[in-house]
Amino acid sequence: MTTADWFSSPDDATERLAATGYLADPATATTAYLAGALEKPLLVEGPAGVGKTELAKAVARASGAELVRLQCYEGLDEARALYEWNYKKQLLRIQATQATGDASSWDETHDDIFTDEFLLTRPLLTAIRREEPTVLLIDEVDKTDVEVEGLLLEVLSDFQVTIPELGTVSAVRRPFVVLTSNATRELSEAVKRRCLYLHLDYPDAEREREIVSSQVPDLDERVAGQLVTTVARLRELELKKAPSIAESVDWARTLIALEIGDLDDKAIADTLGVVLKHASDHDRAVRELRLRR
């Protein structure tokens, strides 16, 4: 099995991720380095909007690898995660064989229609079969049913998939695997044992200010400080959905677009819709922050 050179050290991970626009703290850089060096899947857990998915994308950009994404949701099954057979194409082949009067046995027909030609690969199998460097993102794994985790165990343990009609397909080159979870439910111990673990939370004010400034360099430094302070206050409220880092960046871009040079009460109230997406959150923020229009 061929392995890929992902990062040569935690410092290398920090530098190369930063070059893609992702500012990793020491724990994130170290864990990303270890995930590649030890060839272990990386489970990243934390609230929505703290950069879990973006980390996988940044690893792909930094390494020049292809990103293969499995978006998890309730009701996800093997056919959507792993593979399924192209039944319509198989039926056409059977009908064509019958139309030509070919007296082939069923065993021969069976062997003919259960081949790569009729296989529809889904993200897990696609990542396993790729010979080029690949980052496999299994996004929001906590949204799936518990049974789906069983599909992941063979992949996460041995980087292989068993297809009854074809046998076992093993990875030629191990992908860099990132699983993300918003912790809406506890994942099984079997999955956790196979992964390195990283918890991402909202960054402190200094780190978030660095992120916002790196993404929106035209934003005045004083306004950036006001924005980060306001976002931190919003996250302290009991909201349905706290502002994410991406929404902080969107807010910064909004202030630039509106040429707002001071984030006062009116500016905050007028642009809250950029960071708060529920009417009840908006009302609570206006009330709790005592905003004056």
Kindly report which listed range (97-111, 166-180, 191-205) carries the lowest average pLDDT score: 97-111
Mean pLDDT computed over 23-52: 95
pLDDT at 107 over 70: no
Decide if pLDDT at 51 tops 80: yes
H or E element that contains 292: none
pLDDT of 97 above 80: no
Task: Tell me which CATH code domain 10-75+122-199 carries.
Answer: 3.40.50.300
Given pLDDT bands bounded at 50, 70 and 90, which one contains residue 156?
Answer: confident
CB 4 within 8 A of CB 173: yes
More confident residue, 197 or 168: 197
Digit-coded pLDDT (tens) for 210-266? 999 999 999 999 999 999 999 999 999 999 999 999 999 999 999 999 999 999 999
Of the pLDDT bands very low, low, confident and very high (cuts 50, 70, 90), residue 79 is confident
Q: Does the pLDDT of residue 63 top 50, yes or no?
A: yes
Task: Please report, rounded to a whole number, the percentage of residues in the chain having pLDDT higher than 90.
Answer: 64
Closest CA to 159 of 149, 169, 146: 169
What local confidence, expressed as pLDDT, does residue 110 receive?
61
> Phi then psi for 49, rounded to 5 degrees?
85, 20
Q: With contact defined as beta carbons under 8 Å apart, do 251 and 291 qualify?
A: no
Residue 111 confidence (pLDDT): 63
Q: What is the DSSP letter of 173?
A: B
Lookup: tokens for 103: 């007296």
Q: Would you say 193 and 9 are in contact if contact means Cβ atoms under 8 Å apart?
A: no
Instruction: State what percent of residues in the chain have pLDDT above 70.
Output: 93
Distance CA 250, CA 212 (A): 9
Candidate from 146-160, 199-213, 244-258 with smallest mean pLDDT: 146-160
What is the residue-averaged pLDDT of the chain? 89
**What Cα–Cα distance (Å) separates residue 80 from each residue in 9, 119, 210, 238?**
36, 13, 39, 36
Please, which residues have CB within 8 angstroms of residue 291's CB and are 6 or more apart in sequence? 265, 266, 268, 269, 285
Question: 2 pLDDT band (50/70/90 cuts)?
Answer: very low
Please state the domain extents for the chain.
10-75+122-199, 83-113, 205-288
Q: Write down the pLDDT at residue 3.
A: 47
